[in-house]
């Protein structure tokens, strides 16, 4: 099969031929329909720490059709459609008992490799997709699930005033789930205007640019300080910003993947008596909710996709994403396109 490989920092991804994968016990193999590119993929290939070894396969946002089944798999049959969960825990430790496999204390198994024609998938982690969901949407389950959990943790009501800092794919996924809950009073706070159109297609028309005086503008647009701020930018400075914006006793949900220190003045948080709550990925329930949401509101979710390319165009599209020259939404790769 063909797969896209990371070669080295500063080099474009390369198409290589690898042996077709075989399913181990508890696994299936899918013919990958689409694989999304994530900010963490850029991170792992940028040389800023946690860099992948050369010749690594990549891609953790993917789905496809089951074409081979390993031993002891009863949840799937040939021809089923699924979305893969990229991390699967041991299933019985304290971490796994939370429902979030990434919290496994026994070292989770990683199921990446979605940037390939075929990929191995843990049957236990995957969610079956109804046949009414297009396989082209299967790669949206993973990024949507991140927003699904964050919104579940925040538990807004319809009247909540909300700010999303950073309207990238994860911020847009938060927007999607807020709208599913009927929350309408939402400001998207961005450092550039390039995602304004995307946000508006997904029901986020209150789009403001970071700058002097924006805090007053946010209060005037929302009719008060936000009850909830979602931090989906993952850059230093956002926590101070979120604490500055939040109403007294409000909640900040932290989703951004930031590998640099981000200093805050604790007294500022204290003076707001606010909650800062991190939210890491998702549970199986979130995956199932995303399969349902794609079935019922696929158009809205699909609005976050700005580009779908085949392997030939993928290396250049990947570098455009890194350089911020893409459309600002989700880049999907079709291994067969
Ligand atoms: Zn991701
Ligand atoms: Zn575990």
Residues in the chain: 337
| pLDDT at site 185 | 98
| pLDDT at site 186 | 98
Look-up of token digits 């993928």:
314
Contacts of 70 (CB under 8 A, 6+ apart): 22, 23, 24, 25, 26, 27, 28, 123
User: Does residue 194 come out as left (phi exceeding 0), alpha (psi in the -120 to 50 range) or beta?
Assistant: alpha
Measured CA to CA in angstroms, residue 235 lies from 80, 191, 275 at distances of: 39, 11, 19
- DSSP secondary structure letter of residue 96: H
CA of 250 to the centre of ligand 1 (A): 27
CA of 285 to the centre of ligand 2 (A): 17
**Domains by residue range for the chain, with CATH:** 2-129+304-333 (3.90.180.10), 146-278 (3.40.50.720)
Ligand number nearest CA of 62 is: 1
pLDDT tens digits for the chain (337 residues)?
A: 999 999 999 999 999 999 999 999 999 999 999 999 998 898 889 888 788 999 999 999 999 999 999 999 999 999 999 999 999 999 999 999 999 999 999 989 999 999 999 999 999 989 999 999 999 999 999 999 999 999 999 999 999 999 999 999 999 999 999 999 999 999 999 999 999 999 999 999 999 999 999 999 999 999 999 999 999 999 999 999 999 999 999 999 999 988 889 999 999 999 999 999 999 999 999 999 999 999 999 999 999 999 999 999 999 999 999 998 877 899 999 999 9
Look-up of token digits 């979030």:
100
Phi and psi (nearest 5°) for 309?
Answer: -130, 160
| pLDDT at site 324 | 86
β-strands 27-37, 330-333 pairing: antiparallel
Contacts of 36 (CB under 8 A, 6+ apart): 59, 61, 62, 139, 140, 142, 143, 169, 330, 331, 332, 333
CA of 212 to the centre of ligand 1 (A): 32
Ligand number nearest CA of 170 is: 1
Q: Could you give the CA distance from residue 224 to residue 204 in angstroms, rounded to a whole number?
A: 18
What residues pack around ion ligand 1 (CB closer than 5 A)?
38
Copy the structure tokens of residue 197.
Answer: 């159109």
| pLDDT at site 73 | 97
- DSSP secondary structure letter of residue 287: H
CA of 97 to the centre of ligand 2 (A): 7
CA of 124 to the centre of ligand 2 (A): 13
Ligand number nearest CA of 280 is: 1
Ligand number nearest CA of 331 is: 1
CA of 16 to the centre of ligand 1 (A): 23
Predicted model pTM = 0.95
CA 207 to chain centre: 21
| pLDDT at site 22 | 97
CA dihedral (155, 157, 163, 169) positive or negative? positive
| pLDDT at site 90 | 94
Phi and psi (nearest 5°) for 2?
Answer: -95, 145
Residue among 257, 254, 259 nearest 241 (CA): 254
Q: Could you give the CA distance from residue 274 to residue 296 in angstroms, rounded to a whole number?
A: 35
| pLDDT at site 49 | 76
Q: Could you give the CA distance from residue 200 to residue 283 in angstroms, rounded to a whole number?
A: 28
SS3 284: helix
């Amino acid at each position: 099969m063909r797969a896209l490989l990371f070669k080295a920092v500063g080099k474009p991804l390369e198409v290589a031929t690898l042996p077709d994968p075989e399913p181990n016990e508890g696994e299936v193999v899918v013919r990958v329909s689409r694989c999304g590119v994530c900010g963490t993929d850029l991170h792992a290939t940028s040389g800023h720490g946690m860099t992948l070894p050369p010749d690594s396969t990549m891609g953790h946002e993917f789905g496809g059709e089951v074409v081979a089944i390993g031993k002891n798999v009863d949840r799937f049959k040939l021809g089923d459609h699924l979305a893969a969960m990229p991390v699967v825990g041991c299933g019985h430790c304290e971490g796994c008992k939370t429902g979030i496999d990434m919290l496994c204390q026994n070292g989770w198994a990683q199921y990446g490799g979605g940037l390939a024609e075929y990929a191995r998938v843990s049957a236990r982690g995957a969610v079956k997709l109804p046949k009414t969901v297009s396989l082209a949407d299967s790669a949206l389950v993973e990024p949507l699930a991140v927003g699904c959990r964050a919104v579940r943790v925040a538990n807004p009501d319809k009247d909540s005033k909300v700010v999303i800092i950073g309207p990238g794919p994860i911020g847009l996924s938060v927007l999607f789930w807020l709208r599913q809950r009927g929350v309408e009073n939402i400001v998207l706070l961005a450092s550039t205007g390039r995602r304004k159109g995307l946000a508006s297609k997904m029901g986020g028309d209150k789009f403001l640019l970071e700058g002097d005086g924006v805090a007053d503008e946010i209060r005037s647009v929302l009719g008060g300080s936000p009850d909830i701020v979602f931090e989906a930018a993952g850059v230093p400075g956002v926590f101070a910003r979120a604490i500055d914006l939040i109403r007294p006793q409000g909640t900040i949900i932290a989703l951004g993947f930031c590998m640099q220190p981000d200093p805050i003045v604790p007294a500022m948080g204290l003076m707001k008596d606010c909650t800062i709550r991190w939210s890491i990925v998702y549970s199986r329930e979130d995956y199932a909710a995303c399969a349902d949401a794609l079935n019922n509101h696929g158009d809205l979710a699909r609005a976050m996709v700005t580009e779908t390319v085949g392997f030939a165009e993928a290396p250049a599209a990947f570098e455009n994403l890194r350089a911020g020259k893409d459309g600002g939404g989700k880049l999907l790769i079709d291994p067969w396109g």
